[in-house]
Chain A
Amino acid sequence: MSVVEEETTAREPSDEQLWSRARRGDPSAFGDLFTRHAHTVYTFCFRLTANWNTAEDLTTVVFLEAWRRRGEPEANVATLVPWLLGIASQVARHSTRAVRRHRKLLAKLPPAVVDGDPTANAAARAETEQQMKQILRVFRRLPQREQEVLALCVWGERTTAEAAIALGIPVGTARSRLARAHEHLRRLMEASTPARAAAGAGLAAARAREATPR
């Protein structure tokens, strides 16, 4: 998988410490949490939207929503990243509404500045967006609930336990939805032998992660 969270070291404060400091009103602690997890959230949002610009806006919205919901019971530190990805699932599903809620804050952001060769960068972005759109074309044929679990477990690298926390559902339910998602996906891809082989590889990887507690 390509979603990689930055490693924390013994010298760095944990998510728990940063989140605790942020909730006590420390802006830099919240900023550090953003820096630490923005890439994970951004990648996840991109995979749900197939659009880098939208993903960047939604990443901002996810953290704004996290701050707004900081009083919720689910906002506990042991599950911060799954919780963030759960918020990402929600805001991606209702992106227009989510962006509208925070539009005044988003409008304060400066225009994006593309580093390096703008043409090459734009081409790379367009290519990956096209790839992702093709994947989503198949992915979105799954039932919504199965999409959520599959996205968190496969694209977000979460265990079913973490996905359950993110979605606010029992672990058993998450597990059964994931199994159904695997089955549905397999059926969708049965029309093509090469595609079926690819699906088999992907599902095997997801199951392997399933067996590895975090």
Chain B
Amino acid sequence: MTSSTILRLETIESPPSGQPLERGPAIRALLESVVRDTHHGAAPAGDRGRAGRPRRTRRQVARLGLATATASVLAIAALAVGGVLRPDGGVAQAATPPLLGHEVATGDPAGTMLSVLARQAATTPTVDGVDTTIRTERWSLAVTVGVLPGDGAAPEGAAPEGAAVESHGEGSASGVVGPPVTTAVIPVLREFTRHEDGAVSVHEVGGEPQFPTDAYRRAWDDAGRPGPHGSVVRSDTMPPGSYAFAFPADLPAEPDRLRELLESERPDAAHDAGALLLAVHELRHEQVLSGAVLAGVLDVLAAEPGVIELGRTTDRAGRTAIAVAADSEVSGWPVRQVLLLDPEDGLILGFEQVLTADVETVDVAAPAVIDYTTFQ
């Protein structure tokens, strides 16, 4: 026992006490809404016998059975096996990053706000003639082995776990780093540099593991802390002309022409607001947008009625952001696409995909973040 521990024991009678709840009013409002929505004149007698037996248990058993029966087809990589079967029940589902707070909230059309942001973005100066580097932190949920992205079983862009995967731009569909991971969210830190001579460099490093709860951290520790934290995942430099960009370097600023380009890369964007947000994310992933082009992109989104405003939040880098979103099912999953914008100049700070309802093929409890990119 260390001396510091002994000192702390002196406080065992009166350990640290509570600070004010940071979200007290919001919690109260939530509780009141629950009473309002669920009161039906009498106490729920039917709940008495189920107090300790959530309906979830039955669903988990069903999922486990499904996973067992289809094991030869669906290796639910890094999800069910390491999680559901834990005897202590501490980690029952795949680790996913925490929601940013109100990513699943309802919202009003974002058109007006986006138009204002577009005007602010238009004043952003453009830097030409130098190398541009796009730094991101990205994580994607593992889906299935043997199922290609975009075939309807998973949102395009979702990829094998650990998130040590990059499937954009250069078309790398693999990239799993280290052994499959069951309990940690491991982002990849990526530097994507477009050199002035046309060459492209990609440098990726395993990020800091994240854990939804202490139970996941303990499971991670018990497993020997596998993963690529700090190690170089990829370091490539491609000569001029060898990298297949999805979008031309000389982007137009006119909203109509921008929309055509976005739809050419994502045809679903013609009728699905979520796909449109996904296309914008992909554009941002390979280019640093000039103020004029960013304004055009924001105008495109402003004209899309399916894009709603979720209000201000704090992104994963601790920055204040305005969230806009659109629900989409074109991937085959019920997913909300969320774009995070700088409230001052409209810069794209991040992009997230949130699973909004449970799906059979993956043991993730919706709502859950299944993919995120933070632009640094």
Chain A residues at the B interface, C-beta cutoff of 8 Å: 1-3, 22-28, 30-31, 34-35, 38-39, 42-43, 46-47, 49, 51-52, 54-56, 59-60, 63-64, 67-72, 90, 94-97, 99-101, 103-105, 107-115, 124-125, 128-129, 131-132, 134-135, 137-139, 154-155, 185, 189, 191-192, 194-195, 198-199, 201-202, 205-206
Contact = CB atoms under 8 A, between A and B. Distances in A.
B300 to A, nearest CB: 28
Contacts of B19: 52, 124-125
B23 A46 contact: no
Nearest to B314: A111
Interface residues of B, number: 65
Nearest to A55: B18
Nearest to B13: A202
B217 to A, nearest CB: 11
Interface in B46-65: 47-48, 51-52, 54, 56
Contact of A42 (B7, B18, B313): B18
A103 B13 contact: no
A103 B214 CA distance: 16
B214 A27 contact: no
21 contacts: A26-B35, A27-B31, A27-B35, A30-B35, A31-B32, A46-B18, A60-B30, A68-B47, A71-B42, A72-B51, A96-B91, A97-B54, A107-B367, A115-B22, A135-B9, A135-B15, A137-B5, A154-B12, A155-B15, A192-B6, A199-B9
A1 B8 CA distance: 16
B103 A59 contact: no
B23 A100 contact: no
B13 A154 contact: yes
Contacts of B15: 47, 131-132, 135, 155
A14 to B, nearest CB: 19
Contacts of B44: 68, 70-71
- Give the 6 A-B CB pairs with smallest separation, nearest first: A71-B43, A202-B13, A111-B101, A43-B18, A2-B17, A25-B39
Nearest to A2: B17
Contacts of B31: 27, 30-31, 34, 60, 63-64, 67
Contact of B1 (A94, A109, A192, A202): A192
A67 B365 contact: no
B214 A51 contact: yes
Nearest to B104: A107
Nearest to A90: B52
A109 B9 contact: no
A203 to B, nearest CB: 8
Interface in B1-41: 1, 4-24, 26-36, 38-39, 41
Contacts of A155: 15
A25 B37 CA distance: 9
Contacts of B90: 96
Interface string B85-116: 00001111100000111111100000000000
A175 B27 CA distance: 35
A30 B11 contact: no
Contacts of A24: 39
Contacts of A39: 18, 20-21
B174 interface: no
B48 A108 contact: no
Given A63-B31, A67-B38, A97 B21 contact: no
Nearest to A129: B16
B13 A67 contact: no
Given A69-B51, A131-B15, A112 B22 contact: yes
B37 to A, nearest CB: 9
Nearest to A130: B8
A32 to B, nearest CB: 9
A41 B334 CA distance: 36
A70 B35 CA distance: 11
A151 B271 CA distance: 57
Given A107-B103, A111-B100, A96 B14 contact: no
B277 to A, nearest CB: 20
Given A1-B13, A56-B22, A109-B102, 4 more contacts: A39-B18, A49-B214, A101-B56, A131-B16
B365 A110 contact: no
B212 to A, nearest CB: 8
B43 A70 contact: yes
Contacts of A94: 89
Contacts of B92: 96-97, 100
Contacts of B232: none
B27 A198 contact: no
A95 B213 contact: yes
Nearest to A96: B215
B45 interface: yes
B334 to A, nearest CB: 13
A131 B13 CA distance: 13
Nearest to B103: A107
Nearest to A198: B10
A110 B27 contact: no
A131 B32 CA distance: 34
B10 A100 contact: no
Interface in B344-365: 365
